Structure 1
Amino acid sequence: MVTDDPTLTNPDHYRTLWENEHVRVLEYTDEPGDRTTPHDHPNSVMVTLSDFSRRLSAGERTFDTALTTGQAVWLPAQRHFGENTGTTPTHTILIELKGDAAGEPSSGALGPERPGPA
């Protein structure tokens, strides 16, 4: 269950595009140097519509990631805040799962899983 909904904690960056009882589809946008406040994500699929460079943090842990335009990656349920560390704006779509499939944030999850071969 999402407790700190990113559309409420960071409404300048996240907006709901579509939702039903199974999934919620979010759009995320930001500019280089923009930061978010702590928020939660359920298990999700993230699709990058632009190059994506960011530092995600949770407590004392940090995770740097860089993805190219058009990648789809699994984002396990987690709580984090982030910063655009790139030189271009970020534009992504998140497909958040609901119900039992949403999962629970774990202390080990931070950032997307590394993409495998297509």
Structure 2
Amino acid sequence: MVLESHEVGDDPAVTDPEHYAVIFENERVRVLEYRDSPGDQTHSHRHPDSVMYTLTAFRRRITNGDRAVDVDIPAGAVRWVGAQEHAGHNVGDTPTHTIFVELKEPAPNGGAAAGAGVLGPQT
């Protein structure tokens, strides 16, 4: 499922404004800056298809219902994040600083984007 826009209740900048900040937006993309500290958790929220650029290394647990995945990503990594709903928990020893470029356009040919249904970022 491709999420083209956010509803107020699932927008990470609304559910967790202490962690997410909108730093740029136009009709095609929205760019979010994300920061947290070890032990911090987010509420359930949605991301449309996005590209994530990690400014710091981090380790976190991404959950959706009874599904969970642990991710350990180095600084400077770029990952695809297919449209998804999740909550996050910094289970590492370092703060997280990440940029998300959220796409507002649907996947080409009306199909699901690469990685649809996968929880967390992909290589």
1:83 aligned residue (78, 84, 89): 89
Looking at structure 1, the residues matched to 54 and 23 of structure 2 have their Cα atoms a distance apart, in angstroms, of 15
Closer, same or farther: CA 94–107 of 1 in aligned 2, 3 Å: closer
Runs of 4+ more than 2 Å apart:
106-109
Please give the alpha-carbon distance, in whole angstroms, between the structure 2 residues aligned to 1:44 and 1:108: 14
In structure 2, C-alpha distance between the alignment counterparts of 1:15 and 1:96, rounded to whole Å: 13
Deviation of 1:108 (Å): 2.7
Q: Does 1:52 align with 2:52?
A: no
Would the aligned equivalents of 2:82 and 2:117 in 1 still touch at CA under 8 Å?
no
Q: Deviations over 1:14-34 (max 9, x none)?
A: 000101000001000000000
* 1:7 maps to 2:13: yes
Runs of 5+ in structure 1 lacking a partner?
none
Alignment coverage as a number of residue pairs: 112
**Separation in 2 of the partners of 1:43 and 1:111?**
11
Within 2, Cα distance between the matches of 1:62 and 1:100? Answer: 26
Is 2:36 the partner of 1:30? yes
Deviation at 1:107, TM superposition (A): 8.1
Counterpart CA distance in 1 for 2:27 and 2:116 is 27
Secondary structure of the corresponding residue to residue 74 of structure 1: strand
Query: Which ranges in structure 2 are unaligned for 5 or more consecutive residues?
Result: none
Q: By how many angstroms is 1:99 displaced?
A: 2.6
One-letter amino acid matched to 1:82: G
Quote the sequence identity (%). 51
Partner residue in 2 for 1:39: 45
Secondary structure at 1:99 match in 2? coil
1:2 and 1:110 map into 2 onto residues whose CA distance is: 18
Alignment-derived partner of residue 100 in structure 1: 106
Shift of 1:8: 0.3
